[in-house]
Amino acid sequence: MATGIKDKVAILGMGCARFGERWDVGTEELLAEAFDEALKDAGIERGQIDAAWFGSALDSVNVGNSAIPASIALRLDGIPVSRVENMCATGTETLRGAAYAVASGAVDIALAVGVEKLKDTGYGGLPIPYKGTLNDLWLPQVSAPAGFAQLAGGYRAKHGINRDDLKGAMAHVSWKSHQNGTLSPKAHLRKEVSIETILNAPMIAEPLGLFDCCGVSDGAAAAIVTTPEIARALGKRDLVTIKAIQLSISSGIESTMASWDGSFVRNTRTAATRAYHEAGITDPRKQLSMMEVHDCFSITELVTMEDLFVAGEGRAVHDVLDGFFDRDGGVPCQIDGGLKCFGHPVAASGLRMAYECYNQLLGRAGARQIASPSLALTHNLGGVPYQGIAAISVFGLHG
């Protein structure tokens, strides 16, 4: 019987590049920025890394296929380096690979690193993904906001909420993250934005306006993981361990069968159920100290509150407006500003979320520090709500 990876893997060190329009650096330098910080935090030399998982999602604007570019950029001579790609879950996938390698006993110390250089395309927003030869023949080519905007109509119809009330709650989601982002030195967007500005922004994909959409940035983040025993042997006292990492991928049910009603993300619910089981969480609303979720769009974060079982069914609008997810609320969400303020360099985001959890748990979050957190959750959504990937990690203090 599988026992999961709870407390089998500790974070030895983490690093996160400054996110933003990094006209000054290329992919290699972004990788190095996150890697250097992680090495220093871990207190090891690169030669002590036994294996690495490298994530990049959009190779058309990044470094190309395979792990070779990362191995060369970081001079990881001769060790196994794997490149993983799983859309917006890529960063969490790198951590899963490294954590599983450590938990299995195959290696002592493993590196997870993700990077994306989105600002070398010449335009805002994400590059157009390739859908495959068959899908190309029938599936509409929609933008990311158009894919996620589908949730709005479905949610309104199911819960009988009018357009303005939903839009108001969505605006609060973005307003709260922009407030938080002002306290994040590594965030891309660090200005407050008023509710009025959010509500009156140009439409991107109905009902998502400009400020309902996350930023688009360059960025990289890295984690070095090992066993709790080795971490202690290397002199670490306070340890953050991985409590759970779970993924759920669509098999076509939502997009092909009549059962899904368009109001929620099935994969998030499946992955959350498994992650809570792995981590031993029974009441997430009470037990979670904080969350870093995939707020690619405001509607996504709102629906995610229910999909993670932190808000009751149909209650997210009220919880959001009550400030339950604000920095001083019951379960603070996006304390670092989230994708909204960091932007979403695809393969880096999952690790960037873990970086915030890690620092909060260790009490190193500076001006953003919340009081005595014990359990922190990250959540990524790849693809689109009806055909995608959910990745959930839970981190906590060891022992």
Partner 1 sequence: MSFGITRYGAYVPRLRLQRAAIAAANAWMAPGLKSQGKGTRAFCNWDEDAITMAVEAARDCLPGSARAEVRGVWLASTTLPYADYQNGAVVAAALGLSPALSTLDLAGSQRAGISGLSQALAGGHEGTLLIGSERPKAKPASTQELGYGAGAAAFLLGRENIVARFLGHAASTSQFADHLRDSDSDYDYFWEERWVREEGYAKLIPQVVQSALGNARLGIADIAHFILPSPFRGAAEAIAKRIGFAGIVADNLGDWCGHAGSAHGLLMLADALERATPGEKILLIGFGQGVDVLILEVTEEVLARRPSGGIDAAKSSGILTDSYMRMLSFYGEVKPDWGMRGEKNEKASLSAQNRVADRLAGFVAGTCRACGTVQFPRLAYCVNPACVAPAAQFDDHPLTEESAAVLTYTADWLSYYPAPPLYVGFAQFDSGARLMMEMVDVGPEGLEVGVRLSMVFRIKERDRQRGYNRYFWKATPVAS
Q: What's the closest the beta carbon of residue 382 comes to partner 1, in angstroms?
A: 17
Q: Cite the beta strand spans of the chain per DSSP E.
A: 10-16, 51-55, 81-84, 110-117, 203-205, 208-209, 218-226, 240-249, 290-292, 375-384, 387-397
Amino acid at 244: A
Q: What's the closest the beta carbon of residue 307 comes to partner 1, in angstroms?
A: 16
Contact status: 196 vs partner 1 (CB under 8 A): no
Tokens representing 42?
A: 């871990």
Angle between helices 298-307 and 144-159 (to 10 degrees): 50
Contact status: 117 vs partner 1 (CB under 8 A): no
Contact status: 136 vs partner 1 (CB under 8 A): yes
Binding piece for partner 1, criterion CB under 8 A, among 84-92, 130-138, 181-189, 391-399: 130-138
Q: How far apart are CA 155 and CA 265, in angstroms?
A: 11
Q: What's the closest the beta carbon of residue 149 comes to partner 1, in angstroms?
A: 4
Q: Closest Cα to residue 303, out of 123, 347, 294?
A: 294
> Please, how many CA atoms are within 13 Å of residue 123, restricted to the half-sphere of its CB?
4
Amino acid at 194: S
Residue from 1, 2, 134, 367 in contact with partner 1 (CB under 8 A): 134
Which residue's CB is nearer to partner 1, number 142 or number 195?
A: 142
Alpha-carbon torsion 79, 85, 90, 95, what sign? Answer: negative
Alpha-carbon torsion 160, 163, 168, 171, what sign? Answer: positive
Which residue's CB is nearer to partner 1, number 1 or number 137?
A: 137
Residue from 78, 105, 122, 160 in contact with partner 1 (CB under 8 A): 122
Residues contacting partner 1: total by CB under 8 A: 42
Residue from 138, 160, 162, 399 in contact with partner 1 (CB under 8 A): 138
Q: Which residues are catalytic?
A: 88, 344
Per-residue buried b or exposed e for 295-305, using 16+ beta carbons within 10 Å of the residue's own CB:
bbbbbbbbbbb
Which residue's CB is nearer to partner 1, number 199 or number 234?
A: 199
Q: What's the closest the beta carbon of residue 147 comes to partner 1, in angstroms?
A: 8
Which residue's CB is nearer to partner 1, number 144 or number 375?
A: 144
Q: What's the closest the beta carbon of residue 215 comes to partner 1, in angstroms?
A: 14
Query: Going by C-beta distance under 8 Å and a sequence separation of 6 or more, which residues neighbour residue 33?
Result: 15, 17, 18, 25, 220
Which residue's CB is nearer to partner 1, number 258 or number 371?
A: 258
Q: What's the closest the beta carbon of residue 308 comes to partner 1, in angstroms?
A: 21
Contact status: 141 vs partner 1 (CB under 8 A): yes
Residue from 12, 115, 173, 204 in contact with partner 1 (CB under 8 A): 204
| DSSP element (H, E) containing 253 | helix 253-256
Q: How far apart are CA 104 and CA 88, in angstroms?
A: 26
Cα-Cα-Cα-Cα dihedral of 244, 304, 210, 155, to 10°?
Answer: 160
Q: What's the closest the beta carbon of residue 174 comes to partner 1, in angstroms?
A: 17
Contact status: 154 vs partner 1 (CB under 8 A): yes
Query: Going by C-beta distance under 8 Å and a sequence separation of 6 or more, which residues neighbour residue 124?
Result: 216
Which residue's CB is nearer to partner 1, number 23 or number 123?
A: 123
Cis peptide before 207 (omega within 30 of 0): yes
Which residue's CB is nearer to partner 1, number 216 or number 244?
A: 216
Contact status: 23 vs partner 1 (CB under 8 A): no
Contact status: 133 vs partner 1 (CB under 8 A): yes
Contact status: 139 vs partner 1 (CB under 8 A): yes
Touching partner 1, residues 251-310 (CB under 8 A): 251-253, 255-258, 261-262
Touching partner 1, residues 213-252 (CB under 8 A): 251-252
CB-based contact 250:382 (threshold 8 Å): no
Tokens representing 113?
A: 């690193």
Residue from 205, 272, 354, 375 in contact with partner 1 (CB under 8 A): 205
Using CB under 8 A as the criterion, which residues of the chain lie in contact with partner 1 when the complex forms? 121-123, 125, 128, 133-134, 136-143, 145-146, 149-154, 156-157, 202-208, 251-253, 255-258, 261-262, 386
